[in-house]
Structure 1
Amino acid sequence: MGSSVLASAAVGSADAVVAEKLSRLASVLDELAAVDVSLVSDAALVEATVEAERLALRTAGAVTDRLIVEASDRDLPRALGFRDVRNFMGHGLHIGDPAARHRVIASTGSFTTICGDRLPPSCPTLAGYAVEGRVAGAHVRAVLEVLEAIPGEVSAETKAAAEAQMAGYAVQFTPAEIT
């Protein structure tokens, strides 16, 4: 593990739990990377590719994005000298398109208010699918593009139904087909 904070975490602490889980994940990734996939059958290769991509999406949606939200809630990017969370994502985390990723996180993340209340995601169905690894960031952005075209006078209930319907489309269609 590259971080001295996680490596020296007190046994039983939340820091130690996270460190142990990340270490196990890294170990499994190392083991999987060492497998000779040239020996895998065609059917198994296709299935493994689909599952690996779903797991990669789950890692982003269920783990990394949650950590970024928590860092944002604590204002850690500024404390570390970054201009804002997008700057932290780009320069600190080396995320290729931090603005696009931030847009996804802003709609699927569960942020904490200044009073300490946890807000539900603005797009709860999309958030659930992201955590499950069923949609990618491009799908979320395509759905957001459609939802942003809904006039402001449309009721909140209708907008919520539209979000659920469009999230369902995101599971079935490509981002281009959604827009």
Structure 2
Amino acid sequence: MSVNPALSFLHPLQQLEKLLLRIAAERPALWAAQLAPDMLPLWQQGRTAAGFSLRACYPLAQLDIPPIALVSDDWGGLIQFVQQCRQQLQALAPAGFAGWQQRPIEFEAGFARQQLTGQDYLQLYALPNFYFHFSMLYAIARQHGLAIGKADFDGWHQYPAGFSWVGPAS
């Protein structure tokens, strides 16, 4: 039985959706906020992270990446995009992933054409890129004062209200 690599993205996509819902409710003006002028805005970081889940799993399942566009350029459209990515991953047949670890995957990384085994593609390229863009979205929200923490990012950690690793400011 082959492990389904799509499972690596389902929980993080759920966390991304929750975080986007929170940002939309509490800081809707952050839609186009950036960490630096030459970096993607928050909405594009979210879209790119979610898109990497499909960009990772469809080639591993020997399928073409489905075209999914934002239905609207707003919070609702972005959240729907993330939901559609999750649905697409859930619909992938586990049998399609048979042998994915050794399957050669060709892809473009920026302007470079690359090839890796499926295992290396997932672990060294796709997951790091997914988490990079998810982290940038998180960092933008934190930079702009949204009170979020590790629990909002990974969905597993729990801390008491007001907890801080650095303690009170002196």
Query: TM-score, normalized by length of structure 2?
Result: 0.33
Q: Which has the higher helix share?
A: 1
Query: TM-score, normalized by length of structure 1?
Result: 0.32
Larger Rg: 1
Q: Which has the higher strand share?
A: 2
